[in-house]
Structure 1
Amino acid sequence: WPMLWFCSQALFFLLFCVPSYCTSCPEQCQCTNYSEATAVLCSASNLQEIPRDIPKDTMFLKLDANKITAVPNSTFRHLAHLQEIDLSKNAIEKIDSAAFKGVADGLRLLDLSGNHIQRIPKEALVNLNAMIRLSNNPWHCECTLQEVLWEVKLDPDSVNETTCQTSVQEEYTGKPLLHILDSRFCNMHQKTTDVAMFVTMFSWFTLVISYVVYYVRHNQEDTRKHLEYLKSLPSTRVPKETIS
């Protein structure tokens, strides 16, 4: 009887359990619950992409030390309770502009350290309130990255390990990203844009003036030739003697 009762209860749970108690754990991951906080642990699980069946009540998500190469748009959109995302020590090269859409308000920590990230869209991070770790990535320092750094909260413990592997200005190669916050990347970009616009406008202005001058001179020449032609015509006036 006890075994029969146990089997019947298990069958009832599988068929009719409340959804909040029936959340499944992604394959190759471990899910734990402590004080109503769900943690999904997928560290070093040989994952090549972020699992799609992460429980909706997840608060802590560990995806470090895998082979993940990208963070697509809206990957975490159904995880409204997320507070920490650890994506460190992967092979991430691409992060889409809406990768963290849906978790902006509650997220407290985002770890992207130890990946292959050279560039990141400004839109991917600017709305996050989280502390962000960007260290040990091959960053390409340029105006766009400077704009990102102005908007985000960098983890102070890892900021000195966040450096420029390459740069639009050679003197910043190998330097911490903080050094480009006071640099003139964006100012130089703006000046370059202004100069290019000025040159373009000046070229068009010169072209228009040249056309007007050509048009006026051409008409003057035609007018002069027409007057000379009229002067060359024989006079049609009748002599006074003939009239009398």
Structure 2
Amino acid sequence: QAFFCLLLCIPWGSSCPPSCQCTERAGAKAVLCSSRHLEEIPKDIPRDVVFLKLDANSITRIPSNAFRHLSHLEEIDLSRNAIEKIDRAAFKGVAAGLRTLDLSSNRIRSIPKEALLALNAKLRLANNPWHCECALQEVLWEARLDLDSVRDITCHTAPREEYVGKPLLQVLDAGVNFCSVRQRTMDVAMFITMFGWFA
């Protein structure tokens, strides 16, 4: 009987990552790891977590399968970190169930389109040093961006100096197509190569 009581009386927080706090929000499991000086995503997050807050840390990368076993996950907050790299399979296993993914205020210059292919979540990407090019334009076409923050996606670098410092939406609204620019560049390079063959 004492053993049975021990099993029932262990709080949910006992399976929590040591630097985090585990609680319930609206009847769902939440893991709160905000402002804990984390340099990587904890590997011992409880599998039934629904809300995961990892904001205001020093995380630099989202590796492949970072959340693979967290099948109940609906919201991830990774804002205000130092994220520079997102692997192609970063959200494998949770992409379909996610509702919100906050990657704002990091150091992200580009993000692989493959990482977002199956993602149904509303994305927050504002306040990153984006390199405005075809890949980012394709992300905008295919991703569900949060409308409140999409205007804060600004070109930190770009193929042409005139786009630097401007909101990406403003550049695209002006008729710029980074993908066609890349295609024209490839066509010119191919033409030069072919010209060399026949010279």
Superposition TM-score, scaled by structure 1 size: 0.74
Whether 2:195 is the aligned partner of 1:190: answer: no
Q: Please, which moves more after superposition, 22-31 or 152-161? A: 22-31
Deviation sequence 1:175-194 (CA, Å, 0-9, x none): 11213444121101111112
What residue in structure 2 maps to residue 42 of structure 1? Answer: 33
Q: 1:133 aligns with which of 120, 124, 132?
A: 124
Q: Which amino acid aligns with 1:13?
A: L
Whether 2:51 is the aligned partner of 1:60: answer: yes
Cα separation, 2, equivalents of 1:180 and 1:50: 35
Cα separation, 2, equivalents of 1:111 and 1:22: 24
Question: Secondary structure of the residue that 2:43 maps to in structure 1?
Answer: coil
Give % identity.
Answer: 63
Within a 5 Å distance, the mapping from 1:191-210 to structure 2 comes to: 191-204=184-197, 206=198
Deviation sequence 1:47-75 (CA, Å, 0-9, x none): 11100011111110000011111100110
Question: Secondary structure of the residue that 2:131 maps to in structure 1?
Answer: strand
Q: 1:101 aligns with which of 83, 92, 95?
A: 92
Q: Which amino acid aligns with 1:203?
A: G
Whether 2:150 is the aligned partner of 1:156: answer: no
Superposition TM-score, scaled by structure 2 size: 0.90
Contiguous gaps of at least 5 residues in structure 1: 208-244
Q: Aligned pairs, how many? A: 195
Structure 1 position 32, deviation (Å):
1.1
Assess, with a 3 A threshold, how the Cα gap between structure 1 residues 32 and 12 changes in structure 2: closer, same or farther.
Answer: closer
Within a 5 Å distance, the mapping from 1:63-74 to structure 2 comes to: 63-74=54-65
Check conservation: 1:113, 1:137, Cα contact below 8 A: yes
Structure 1 position 11, deviation (Å):
7.4
Contiguous gaps of at least 5 residues in structure 2: none
Q: Which amino acid aligns with 2:7?
A: F
Q: Please, which moves more after superposition, 42-51 or 22-31? A: 22-31
Q: Which amino acid aligns with 1:202?
A: F
Question: Secondary structure of the residue that 1:58 maps to in structure 2?
Answer: coil
Structure 1 position 46, deviation (Å):
1.1
Check conservation: 2:13, 2:21, Cα contact below 8 A: no
Q: Which amino acid aligns with 2:120?
A: N
Deviation sequence 1:69-106 (CA, Å, 0-9, x none): 11001100001111100000011111111111111111
Structure 1 position 203, deviation (Å):
2.6
Whether 2:7 is the aligned partner of 1:13: answer: yes
Q: 2:108 aligns with which of 117, 139, 150?
A: 117
What residue in structure 2 maps to residue 24 of structure 1? Answer: 15
Cα separation, 2, equivalents of 1:186 and 1:88: 28
Check conservation: 2:13, 2:23, Cα contact below 8 A: no
Cα separation, 2, equivalents of 1:179 and 1:150: 15
CA RMSD of aligned residues (A): 2.1
Question: Secondary structure of the residue that 2:80 maps to in structure 1?
Answer: coil
Compare CA radii of gyration and give the structure with the larger one. Answer: 1
Check conservation: 2:132, 2:155, Cα contact below 8 A: yes
What residue in structure 2 maps to residue 232 of structure 1? Answer: none
